[in-house]
Amino acid sequence: MLILAVRQIIKLIKERKSIKIYRIINLLVTLTLFVLTFYNFNKIPNSIIEKIDWSISYNKRNQIVKDVLSEKLKPNTKMNNGICKLSFDFPIISNGGNDIWIYQNKTEGTKTIKFWISRGFFEAPQTYFIFTNDDETQKQYEELIKVKPEYNWKLEKIGTG
């Protein structure tokens, strides 16, 4: 990338008498990509994609949450570990197999539903959109949002049905 940037600068200097707009655009794009290479560029598009995903699929996820609260949807895998496989309708609501994770606090009757953004196998982190009506879970995640807002940015409190 550095070589491309230097090359674009040299061409711009050589053609300074008859600078063409595409040469300036090439230089700006190259320099932008060069800077973003060292600026952890990955966070920017991921953050934008997550926010777009949140907005686009919000109503569909809310309907799924209502179905979980009314017990139309329950964990349905053989391991019975809280995972519910959703049908593969378009658009996919939860990445990594279109599964959601349902945790039910039996003593309080509250539920927490997680929709995967990134399933994260082995040591890779998992990211979720989380809907909950459990006050204790809500407090835990709100604390995470305060401590590390770059990694935790949205928590949705759900009604009781």
What pLDDT shows up at residue 160?
46
pLDDT tens profile 105-116: 888 888 989 888
Residue 131 has pLDDT above 80, yes or no: yes
Residue 24 banded pLDDT, cuts 50, 70, 90: confident
Partners of residue 137 on adjacent β-strands:
none
Q: How far apart are CA 19 and CA 28, in angstroms?
A: 14
Residue 76 has pLDDT above 80, yes or no: yes
Q: How far apart are CA 85 and CA 88, in angstroms?
A: 9
Counting beta carbons within 10 angstroms of the beta carbon of residue 78, is it exposed (0 to 12), middle (13 to 18) or buried (19 or more)? exposed
Segment 38-46 mean pLDDT:
65
What pLDDT shows up at residue 41?
61
Q: Is 105 helix (H, G, I), strand (E, B) or coil?
A: strand
Share of residues in the chain with pLDDT > 90 (%): 1
Residue 125 has pLDDT above 80, yes or no: no
Residue 103 has pLDDT above 50, yes or no: yes
Which stretches does DSSP call E strand in 12-161? Answer: 83-85, 99-105, 110-118, 127-132, 156-157
Do residues 10 and 39 lie in contact, with contact meaning Cβ atoms separated by under 8 Å?
Answer: no
What pLDDT shows up at residue 39?
65
Residue 90 banded pLDDT, cuts 50, 70, 90: low
